[in-house]
């Protein structure tokens, strides 16, 4: 039995509504937070051997889960792999670190590359998969190396160029869970970084809603091949703002 084996948290028949920003989603067989990489390895091997459907989640800020839920297990590293190390201009972070924390810590050290993503919710894992970005910056821009684990518990190492990154998309294999990533950033004068951060931060109130609308349109289009028309009245936006 998997629940006896898991050293971390094992929540049986857990409603995903508790783990998504939209507050929507029915029960999954188990919502699991492994205690560490070794625990994760054992869980993946068990799931593979038993043929259990497995989904990897971050903090659920980009997840739309059906009210019917999901027959398989959901594994999140959001609360277990949270180590962040910054040495000179090199950033090493595990996928459970919140993107906001990385942004804050790099700004503090006058490192440029992440500041435009201030306010983007979610973990580093989700950000890598989604190639999260804002105001012209994307998580993949300064990316160096990524570590992942396959369902047989083996560690995979990718250079940035092994993966294709495009708008809110990446080509990481779906049956691998990301573990950590490293980034090489550049130094920039503090006042310039603060200026860019402030600009990004100011723009977020509006762009949160725009992003949310685009996300809803994209999700509906991908799932149902339906192009949703905007039903709200908008004012002051340039043409194409809500296009996906
Ligand atoms: C209000 C609001 C504003 C937003 N603004 C922006 C924005 O400005 N820019 C932007 O890019 N996005 C934005 N988003 C979307 C969201 O913040 C990003 O997509 C974010 O990167 C998702 O991170 P997460 O940890 O919540 O991932 P989740 O939503 O949990 O998962 C997203 C995807 O990543 C996968 N995943 C997560 N962790 C792992 C892992 N360790 N290994 C393998 N797969 C994994 C999941 O399977 C899923 O496919 C916004 C969302 C909201 C709700």
pLDDT in tens, 186-199: 999 988 988 888 88
With 90 as the cut, is the pLDDT of residue 233 above it? no
Q: Which of 211, 216, 223 to mutate to test the pocket of ligand 1 (most atoms within 8 A of CB)?
A: 211
The pLDDT of residue 243: 87
Same domain, 101 and 133: yes
Last residue of a domain, which of 27, 43, 76?
76
Position 206 scores a pLDDT of 67
- In a domain, residue 222? The reply is no
The mean predicted confidence, pLDDT, of the chain is: 92
Q: Once rounded to an integer, what is the mean pLDDT over residues 90-116? A: 96
pLDDT at 234 over 90: no
Q: Which residue's CA is the nearest one to ligand 1's atom 36?
A: 126
pLDDT digits (tens, 9 = 90+) for 23-47: 888 999 999 999 999 999 999 999 9
- Distance between Cα 1 and ligand 1 center (Å): 31
Which pLDDT band holds residue 210 (cuts at 50, 70, 90)?
confident
Same domain, 30 and 122: no
Same domain, yes or no, for 197 and 96?
A: yes
* Nearest atom within ligand 1 for CA of residue 22: 53
For a mutational test of ligand 1's pocket, the pick from 20, 120, 139, i.e. the residue with the most ligand atoms closer than 8 A to its C-beta, is 120
Element (H, E) at 85: strand 84-87
pTM above 0.85, yes or no: yes
Residue 193 lies in a domain: yes
Q: What is the spatial distance between Cα 167 and Cα 178, in angstroms, rounded to a whole number?
A: 19
**54 assigned to some structural domain:** yes
Same domain (yes/no): 88, 121: yes
CATH number, domain of 65, equals 3.30.43.10
Identify the CATH number of the domain in which residue 186 sits.
3.30.465.10
Specify if 220 maps to a domain: no
Same domain, 167 and 59: no
Q: Give me the DSSP letters along 109-163.
A: TTEESSGGGTT--SBHHHHHHHT-EETTEETTTTEEEEEEEETTS-EEEEEGGGS
**Structural domain total, the chain:** 2
Q: Is residue 212 part of a domain?
A: no
Output the residue whose Cα is nearest ligand 1's atom 12.
Answer: 132
């Amino acid at each position: 039995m998997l629940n006896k084996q898991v050293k971390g948290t094992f929540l049986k028949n857990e409603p995903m509504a508790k783990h998504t920003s939209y507050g929507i989603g029915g029960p999954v067989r188990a919502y699991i937070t492994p205690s560490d990489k070794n625990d994760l390895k054992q869980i993946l091997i068990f799931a593979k051997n038993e043929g259990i459907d497995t989904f990897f989640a971050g903090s659920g800020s980009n997840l739309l889960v059906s009210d019917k839920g999901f027959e398989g297990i959901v594994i999140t590293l959001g609360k277990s792999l949270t180590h962040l190390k910054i040495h000179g201009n090199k950033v090493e972070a595990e996928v459970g670190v919140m993107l906001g924390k990385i942004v804050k810590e790099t700004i503090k050290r006058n490192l440029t590359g992440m500041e435009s993503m201030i306010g983007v919710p979610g973990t580093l894992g989700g950000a890598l998969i989604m190639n999260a970005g804002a105001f012209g910056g994307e998580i993949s821009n300064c990316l160096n190396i990524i570590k992942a684990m396959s369902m047989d518990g083996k560690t995979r190492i990718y250079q940035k160029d092994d993966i294709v990154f495009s708008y809110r998309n990446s080509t990481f294999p779906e049956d691998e869970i990301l573990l950590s990533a490293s980034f090489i950033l550049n130094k920039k004068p503090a006042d310039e970084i603060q200026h860019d951060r402030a600009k990004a931060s100011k723009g977020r109130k509006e762009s949160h809603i725009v992003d949310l609308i685009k996300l809803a349109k994209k999700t509906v289009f991908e799932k149902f091949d339906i192009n949703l028309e905007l039903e709200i009245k908008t004012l002051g936006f340039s043409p194409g703002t809500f296009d996906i």
